[in-house]
Structures are given as C-alpha cells and as structure tokens.
Amino acid sequence: MAPRLKITILTLFPRMFEGFFTSSIMRRAVEKGTVEYRLVDFRLWATDRHRSVDDLPYGGGAGMVLMYDPLARALDELGTAGKRVIYPSPSGVLLDQSLAHELSNERELLFICGHYEGLDQRIIDEYVDDEISIGDYVITGGEVATMVIVDSVFRLIDGVISSGSLDEESFADGLLEYPQYTRSGPSCPKEVPHVLLSGHHGKIESWRLEQKLLRTMERRIDLLETASLDAVSRKKLNELKESMAKGIGENGRDESC
Ligand code: ADE
C-alpha cells in the first residue's frame, strides 16, 4: 500500500534526522509504511570544486545566503508537482494546531532546511508554498524546525496515535490541557487532588474543565478569544471570572505536586 504521507527533506545535515525518524512513534509509523521519508543533501547539486552552496548577501551584511542554483537544480530533479513545499523560517506564518491539521491532509511534503541568513528569495518565490515559523525566536537552522513541523503533522494522521489522546490534548478545543497525575512513591511530598480519587466522573470532568480554563487564563489569555467553548465551558468561565472579581481567589487551583 502507498504511504499515507511522503516527506522529502532537503538539508545539509541529514544525520540530524537519524534519531527522529528511527525512534518512538515516528519509528512505528515508518515501519508500518504510514510515513515514508527521504533525506536529500542538496550539496550534491553544487557544481564548483568547493561544493559551495552559499555566498555573501548582495547589498552587504552579516552571514551567508543559500544560493539559487544548487537548490533549484535539486528541486527540479526531485520534482515539486503534487508536493507542498515548506520552508521553515522565523519570518514565516506561525505554526499552530489548525495549520498542523491542514498539512496532515497532504500526501507529500517537501521541506527545505535553510541555514545561515536563509535562502535566496528567488527560491522562495519560485518553489515555496508555505514559509512557516515554529515560534518567535531564532534557532540555528531549519532542521529542528522541520522536525517540529513534521512531528505536529504526522501524529494527526489516522491510526498513528489513539484518537482519544488527540481529543483530550491541549488545543483540541482551543484551551490548554488540565494537569495529569499518576501513582507515585513516598518521595512525592504533595497529595493528588482528592477529586481525582473520588471515582465521581462528573466531578472529575468539572475539575478538569476548571483547570483548563484557569491555566489558559493564566498562561495564554489570547487563546480564550478564539477557543470554541461550548455552553458548559462558557458558564464555568463566567463563574471563574466572577469569583476572581469578587476576590474569592483561585478556588480551583491545583494544590498538589
Ligand atoms: N529557523 C530559524 N528559526 C526558525 C523558527 N523560529 N522557525 C522556523 N524556522 C526557523
């Protein structure tokens, strides 16, 4: 059977991906044939005797820019038809869960890993469909950013992980996830919130919702503007806001380990 997702990665450092594709859930997806990947060192398309792939920026300035020719030749030879071509870059649109979902519907993704001061803009103009940033900070190259994007995407493909886990996790409903607890030994100095041991599913659900709302209000208030809250969540949010306004305090705060 054809793989559900084919990934091609153009990189100067293919070894950086070894652990990523051969460990954990990704390894299983590759072994099952759900994901197929190909790492391509685009230095192979350099033509001068130094195998150069970068040069000084026109107009001056620090750093080096990846040249048009080696990358264009690599892309033409590999072919881009039917592939969504992604260039991870701090100047891209921000990766979020909805973009990860959108990309998980594609059959073929091709990543171009930049380095130094990035790619010649003409490569981006001619070949790139999406320039994507993984956050408002700068890392040394596109490899780690590519792994982040690929990881956020492949796990959403049917059968890669259990759908129950996807329903419960952060951003599934636009909110952060509630805290989790499991059995611990005597070295843990704090107790588990009692409600979780009550066996009362309604109360547990209500506590978890409260924790999600409190966390989101505290850490990511911006998410509350776009979260798709159902009637129960909206009611709970209003109650929390009211009790905070009255100065009752954070009644539902997580007080355990
Ligand atoms: N390359 C360097 N920094 C990056 C970032 N924040 N996102 C994506 N690619 C990058």
3-class secondary structure per residue, 192-257: CCHHHHCCCHHHHHHHHHHHHHHHHHHHCHHHHHHCCCCHHHHHHHHHHHHHHHCCCCCCCCCCCC
Flag whether the pTM goes above 0.85.
yes
Ligand 1 touching residue 179 (CB < 6 A): no
Contact predicate 124/87, CB 8 Å: yes
191 phi/psi in degrees, rounded to 5: -85, 160
Give the model's pLDDT for residue 173. Answer: 86
Coil, helix or strand at residue 17: helix
- The whole-angstrom separation of Cα 120 and Cα 145 is 19
Residue with CA closest to ligand 1 atom 5:
90
Per-residue pLDDT of the chain (257 residues; tens, 9 = 90+): 899 999 999 999 999 999 999 999 999 999 999 999 999 999 999 989 999 999 999 999 999 999 999 999 999 999 999 999 999 999 999 999 999 999 999 999 999 999 878 999 999 999 999 999 999 999 999 999 999 999 999 999 999 998 777 877 778 789 999 999 999 989 999 999 999 999 999 999 999 999 999 999 999 999 999 999 999 999 999 999 999 999 865 455 554 55
The full DSSP string for 35-87 is EEEEEEEGGGG--STT---EEPPTT--SS-EE-HHHHHHHHHHH--TT-EEEE
* CATH code, 168-245: 1.10.1270.20
Ligand 1 touching residue 119 (CB < 6 A): no
Ligand 1 touching residue 139 (CB < 6 A): yes
Contact predicate 86/111, CB 8 Å: yes
Ligand 1 touching residue 137 (CB < 6 A): yes
* Topology of domain 5-161, CATH: Alpha/beta knot (3.40.1280)
What does the DSSP 8-state code read for residue 21? H
- The whole-angstrom separation of Cα 254 and Cα 11 is 44
Give the model's pLDDT for residue 164. Answer: 76
Atom of ligand 1 nearest to the CA of 138: 3
Domain boundaries, the chain: 5-161, 168-245
Ligand 1 touching residue 90 (CB < 6 A): yes
Ligand 1 touching residue 118 (CB < 6 A): no
